[in-house]
Amino acid sequence: MTDSLRSFFCDMHIHIGGTKSGKPVKITASRQMTLSHILEEASERKGIEMIGIIDAHSPEVQEELTDLIQQGLAVPHESGGITYKQTMLILGCEVEIKEAGRGEAHFLCYLPGLSEMRQFTAWLAQRCKNVTLSSQRIATTTRELQLFVASLDGLIVPAHIFTPHKGLYGSCTDHLAEVADPALIAAVELGLSANTEMADRLSELHPYTFLTNSDAHSLGKIAREYQAIRMVQPCFAEWKKALQRAEGRGVAINYGLHPRLGKYHQTACQACKSPLPAEGDGRCPACGFKRVVRGVAERIEQLADLPAGNHPHHRPAYVEQFPLDFIPGLGKKTREKLFAAFGTEMNIIHRVAPQQLEQVVGETLAQLILMARNGALDVVAGGAGTYGKIATKQSSMTKEQNL
């Protein structure tokens, strides 16, 4: 019944850096990103009510999760997913596929529970070099992957779909149907360098739910992008209905970084990071090299068949926000004061009144938090693998982010 629906904060793309024994999973992620640390951070620090761990295929990660269940710290949900304190864990896996004659693309595969994920791991182990690691290239096609995941009652989402580094549109194809069965795509993930206004310029994406996830490689980056999802409760069955926008479920709001903060937003020189114009021979006017990384904004302009401002009726608002550790002048000690006073980051970003913020951090920083809450901070665009910069309205408070 729709009258029992409410919104839950969800970040569905979080990497595991290492196992409890210290072995790597996602090579480029922090070793502090163990399953237990992520669950604790999401529940007690971030206030995220549902997360997707997309390295749950790794056997040692499954062992750690089994230990948590046996200790009674984690509880499998009858409708899929596993509860840890205030957070629902959805099990996922990120894989890489290289179609013949095309570039690589990453896909997120979500499964109802441990049993299905173990079946997926066994299937994966026959098709990749090292099943313990994250984001492995697998010897299959996108359509074969879709069919197998569907046989396990799972869901597939193309990851960071526009990025030049292994995004479906950024690296692999001009049209989704050229490599995938459109009916077996559950949703699409926009990535940090794009927003709804940009993505809806492709009419073939209008049927799909848009996801804004953190792709976190460290604990602090969990929930740098997330969404509020209408569900009866957080669990796999409700998550599936939400992506299908069935029975009143669905994404209520996408909360994302300003796309200019993304490290692939604008076309830039890989050598010196200078922005490059769309026209010209591709040689950098600053350093003379021809090492161009095509930006998401330019790629969308190439693919777009609609002007900006065209959205399907089901598309929710996209709210541009900045997490606390992105805000200039808001150091670690000050953040700790905020956590001590107000609990989770979701409380601080969404719920705490301006007067309460001022009492803890003073008027200037309180105003910055409110500007971040409303997407009102100035941004200098990033590109070629370098993130953008955040600057406040006050010119004296400018800070380049090391994301």
Domain boundaries, given as residue ranges, for the chain:
2-258, 326-403
The CATH number that domain 326-403 falls under is 1.10.150
Q: What angle do CA 284, 286, 290 make, to 5 degrees?
A: 20
CA-CA-CA-CA torsion sign (389, 262, 249, 120): negative
Q: What is the pLDDT along the chain (403 residues), one digit of tens a residue?
A: 456 999 999 999 999 999 999 999 999 999 999 999 999 999 999 999 999 999 999 999 999 999 999 999 999 999 999 999 999 999 999 999 999 999 999 999 999 999 999 999 999 999 999 999 999 999 999 999 999 999 999 999 999 999 888 999 999 999 999 999 999 999 999 998 889 999 999 999 999 999 999 999 999 899 989 999 999 999 999 999 999 999 999 999 999 887 767 666 667 666 676 676 656 666 777 676 666 677 788 889 999 999 999 999 999 999 887 778 778 788 889 999 999 999 888 899 888 999 999 999 999 999 888 887 777 777 765 555 566 667 645 333 333 333 3
- Comparing 2-258 with 326-403, is the CATH topology the same? no
Phi and psi torsions of 47, nearest 5°? 75, 30
Q: Are the C-beta atoms of 298 and 234 separated by less than 8 Å?
A: no
Cα–Cα distance measured from residue 13 to residue 222, given in angstroms and rounded to the nearest whole number: 9
| Contacts of 195 by beta carbon, 8 Å cutoff, 6+ apart | 254, 256, 258, 259, 318, 320
Which CATH fold topology does 2-258 show? TIM Barrel (3.20.20)
Look up the pTM and report it: 0.87
Q: What angle do CA 16, 19, 23 make, to 5 degrees?
A: 110
Q: What is the pLDDT of residues 290-324, one digit of tens each?
A: 666 777 888 899 999 999 999 999 999 998 877 78
Q: Return the pLDDT at 58.
A: 98
